[in-house]
Amino acid sequence: MNPAVRIRRAEPSDCAQLARLQEALWPTTSADEHASELGPVLAGRGSSTMPLVYLVAEADGGRLIGFLEVGLRSHADGCDPSHPVGFIEGWYVVEDQRRRGIGRQLLAAAEVWARRQGCREIASDTWIDNILSQRVHEALGYAVVDRCVHYRKTL
């Protein structure tokens, strides 16, 4: 555990910083677009019917250096379909803060949250070419349950 970092639930005042972290993870969407989606969720006015929370890693001075978005899904590949499952929707730690246990702390907090929601399992996914993410998941106890290649054809 990294004592210089506090893991907590995101608040409305975190919106701008959190949106920039999301843009770093998902660069095809701008920080402004992320912020417009985050604002209502952080204010408790999200439109999702399933619970969803943002956990943040806060360094001294209030700088956000990571986040994890976790929600509930009715099902996930490889999980028992008779129970809802916690699902890691997004997980990111700024590059110069990696390998310090911050991602592990975020994931542990997400697992606690999922257990409190009555989940027996938590799931995640990553791109097939994201070898680093695969290694991190496996190092933290996640098992591969499926591999998939998606196709499309323009008509």
Closest by alpha carbon to 92, among 55, 121, 39, 43?
55
Tokens of 96: 């110069």
Packing angle of the helix pair 15-25, 31-42 (nearest 10 deg)? 130
Q: In the CATH scheme, what is the code of domain 5-139?
A: 3.40.630.30
Question: DSSP labels for 7-26?
Answer: EEE--GGGHHHHHHHHHHHS
**Interval 80-108: pLDDT, tens:** 788 888 988 999 999 999 999 999 999 99
What's the angle, vertex CA 129, arms to CA 128 and CA 131, rounded to 5?
Answer: 100
**Interval 25-61: pLDDT, tens:** 999 999 999 999 888 888 887 666 667 889 999 998 8
What is this structure's pTM? 0.84
Question: Do 32 and 22 form a contact (C-beta atoms < 8 A)?
Answer: no
Residue 32: CB atoms within 10 Å: 10
Q: Is the pLDDT of residue 129 over 90?
A: no
